[in-house]
Amino acid sequence: MSIDDVTTQLRGQLQEAFGVDGATYLMDRPPGGWNDLVTNDSLDRQFNVFRREMTAEFAVVRSEISSLRFELRAEMNTGFRDQTWRLMTAMLSMMAVLIAVIAALIKL
Protein backbone atom coordinates (compact mmCIF):
# COMPACT_ATOMS: atom_id res chain seq x y z
CA MET A 1 0.00 0.00 0.00
CA SER A 2 1.47 3.38 -0.97
CA ILE A 3 1.54 6.51 1.15
CA ASP A 4 -1.11 8.12 -1.04
CA ASP A 5 -3.42 5.14 -0.48
CA VAL A 6 -2.89 5.33 3.30
CA THR A 7 -3.52 9.09 3.26
CA THR A 8 -6.72 8.68 1.24
CA GLN A 9 -7.96 5.91 3.53
CA LEU A 10 -7.16 7.94 6.65
CA ARG A 11 -8.88 11.02 5.23
CA GLY A 12 -12.01 8.95 4.55
CA GLN A 13 -12.03 7.60 8.12
CA LEU A 14 -11.56 11.09 9.53
CA GLN A 15 -14.38 12.44 7.32
CA GLU A 16 -16.69 9.75 8.68
CA ALA A 17 -15.68 10.48 12.27
CA PHE A 18 -15.28 14.29 12.25
CA GLY A 19 -16.83 15.52 9.03
CA VAL A 20 -15.15 17.11 6.00
CA ASP A 21 -14.02 20.27 7.84
CA GLY A 22 -12.57 18.31 10.78
CA ALA A 23 -10.77 15.87 8.47
CA THR A 24 -9.34 18.75 6.43
CA TYR A 25 -8.16 20.48 9.60
CA LEU A 26 -6.50 17.36 10.92
CA MET A 27 -4.94 16.26 7.64
CA ASP A 28 -3.74 19.56 6.24
CA ARG A 29 -1.72 20.92 9.14
CA PRO A 30 1.46 19.79 10.84
CA PRO A 31 1.26 18.32 14.33
CA GLY A 32 1.11 21.17 16.83
CA GLY A 33 -0.03 23.68 14.22
CA TRP A 34 1.72 25.87 11.71
CA ASN A 35 3.24 28.03 14.46
CA ASP A 36 5.29 25.07 15.72
CA LEU A 37 7.12 24.53 12.43
CA VAL A 38 10.85 25.16 12.57
CA THR A 39 12.21 27.16 9.67
CA ASN A 40 15.73 28.11 8.73
CA ASP A 41 14.94 31.71 9.67
CA SER A 42 13.74 30.76 13.13
CA LEU A 43 16.81 28.55 13.63
CA ASP A 44 19.07 31.40 12.50
CA ARG A 45 17.40 33.80 14.93
CA GLN A 46 17.77 31.35 17.82
CA PHE A 47 21.37 30.63 16.87
CA ASN A 48 22.20 34.35 16.74
CA VAL A 49 20.66 34.89 20.19
CA PHE A 50 22.64 31.92 21.51
CA ARG A 51 25.84 33.22 19.89
CA ARG A 52 25.39 36.68 21.48
CA GLU A 53 24.80 35.13 24.91
CA MET A 54 27.82 32.86 24.61
CA THR A 55 30.01 35.72 23.37
CA ALA A 56 29.07 37.74 26.45
CA GLU A 57 29.65 34.77 28.75
CA PHE A 58 33.04 34.03 27.20
CA ALA A 59 34.05 37.67 27.60
CA VAL A 60 33.28 37.45 31.32
CA VAL A 61 35.18 34.16 31.63
CA ARG A 62 38.13 35.62 29.70
CA SER A 63 38.34 38.62 32.02
CA GLU A 64 38.12 36.41 35.12
CA ILE A 65 40.89 34.15 33.80
CA SER A 66 43.01 37.19 33.01
CA SER A 67 42.65 38.58 36.52
CA LEU A 68 43.38 35.15 38.03
CA ARG A 69 46.47 34.88 35.84
CA PHE A 70 47.84 38.17 37.17
CA GLU A 71 47.06 37.13 40.76
CA LEU A 72 48.85 33.83 40.22
CA ARG A 73 51.90 35.55 38.73
CA ALA A 74 52.11 37.93 41.69
CA GLU A 75 51.79 35.08 44.17
CA MET A 76 54.43 33.02 42.34
CA ASN A 77 56.77 36.00 42.24
CA THR A 78 56.41 36.49 46.00
CA GLY A 79 56.93 32.77 46.61
CA PHE A 80 60.06 32.62 44.44
CA ARG A 81 61.51 35.70 46.16
CA ASP A 82 60.88 34.19 49.62
CA GLN A 83 62.35 30.86 48.53
CA THR A 84 65.47 32.57 47.15
CA TRP A 85 66.06 34.46 50.42
CA ARG A 86 65.62 31.27 52.47
CA LEU A 87 68.02 29.38 50.22
CA MET A 88 70.63 32.15 50.35
CA THR A 89 70.31 32.33 54.16
CA ALA A 90 70.75 28.56 54.44
CA MET A 91 73.76 28.60 52.12
CA LEU A 92 75.45 31.45 54.02
CA SER A 93 74.79 29.66 57.32
CA MET A 94 76.25 26.43 55.96
CA MET A 95 79.30 28.28 54.65
CA ALA A 96 79.82 29.97 58.04
CA VAL A 97 79.62 26.60 59.80
CA LEU A 98 82.02 25.06 57.30
CA ILE A 99 84.51 27.91 57.76
CA ALA A 100 84.25 27.54 61.56
CA VAL A 101 84.87 23.79 61.29
CA ILE A 102 87.87 24.32 58.99
CA ALA A 103 89.26 27.00 61.32
CA ALA A 104 88.82 24.65 64.29
CA LEU A 105 90.59 21.88 62.43
CA ILE A 106 93.48 24.18 61.50
CA LYS A 107 93.94 25.24 65.15
CA LEU A 108 94.19 21.61 66.23
Q: Name the DSSP letter for residue 35.
A: G
**How many other C-beta atoms are found inside a 10 Å radius of the C-beta of residue 14?**
17
Q: How far apart are CA 47 and CA 10, in angstroms?
A: 38
Q: What pTM does this model have? A: 0.45
Name 18's Cβ contacts closer than 8 Å, sequence gap at least 6. 26
- 27-55 as b/e, with b when 16 or more CB fall inside 10 Å? eeeeeeeeeeeeeeeeeeeeeeeeeeeee
Q: How far apart are CA 57 and CA 8, in angstroms?
A: 53
- pLDDT per position as a tens digit, 25-71: 778 777 666 677 778 888 999 999 999 999 999 999 999 999 999 99
Where along the chain do its domains lie?
Answer: 1-37
Determine the length of the chain. 108
Q: Output the CA torsion sign for 72, 75, 77, 83.
A: negative
- pLDDT per position as a tens digit, 63-106: 999 999 999 999 999 999 999 999 999 999 999 999 999 999 99
